[in-house]
Amino acid sequence: MLPDRIADALAGVCAALVSCPATWLVTGSVAAALHRLPVVPNDLDIETDAAGAYDVQRRLGGQVVRPVGYSATDRVRSHFGITCWAGIAVEIMGDLQIKLAGDGWLVSRPVVERRAWVTYDRTRVPVISALALARFYRDLGRPEQAELVCRGLGSEGLDSRGLDFRELG
């Protein structure tokens, strides 16, 4: 169950992006909650490709907290920006990459290949698949979140130690 403010923001974002030509999905803690995991999100994360990140922010309008632009840290890099929608921070990431041990960067497969669909309160939501979310958390160095997602997958008998995000990109 999502907090009301997050649910309202999610519905608004989905409505604003229904005709967006960019392929996008919800990821992070909202995705985990939509997969019925016991988390309480406080923001909304959208993943797309580089061009899509700029288009998503333009279509969402609202209060731009941080304009989309190329951004890199020691662990992740993407075309990143933040928009406020109904009082909720919406983080937008395009062409997200994760730093691997050593010198390489993990480039994820296209969003459309990792996307699943859920319906929440009569809103159809593109969301990262649970398996892709577990792999993402594992490779981001968040094993506790990866384990939580894997436990939620239950019957598939997955163990986050055995997940290989490189299979998805």
Here the CATH number for the domain that contains residue 139 is 3.30.460.40
Two tokens, residue 54: 């700029």
At 133 the pLDDT is 86
Q: Residues 92, 168, 132, CA angle at the centre, nearest 5°?
A: 60
At 154 the pLDDT is 63
Helix (H, G, I), strand (E, B), or coil: what is residue 123?
Answer: strand
At 151 the pLDDT is 77
User: Long-range contacts of range 6-12, CB-CB < 8 Å, 24 or more positions apart?
Assistant: 6/30, 6/33, 6/41, 6/42, 6/44, 6/88, 7/120, 7/121, 8/86, 8/88, 9/44, 9/85, 9/86, 9/87, 9/88, 9/90, 10/44, 10/120, 10/123, 10/125, 11/121, 11/123, 12/85, 12/86
- Work out how many domains the chain is built from and give that number: 1
Kindly state the helix (H) or strand (E) to which residue 149 belongs, with its residue range: helix 143-153
At 130 the pLDDT is 85
At 155 the pLDDT is 41
Helix (H, G, I), strand (E, B), or coil: what is residue 134?
Answer: helix
Range of the domain at 96: 4-167
Q: Which residues contact 122 (CB under 8 A, 6 or more apart)?
A: none
At 136 the pLDDT is 82
* pLDDT in single tens digits along all 169 residues of the chain: 899 999 999 999 999 999 999 999 999 899 989 988 888 999 999 999 999 999 999 999 878 999 999 999 998 999 999 999 999 999 999 999 988 877 789 888 888 989 999 999 999 999 999 888 888 888 877 878 888 777 776 644 444 445 444 443 3
Residues 94/53, Cβ–Cβ less than 8 Å: yes
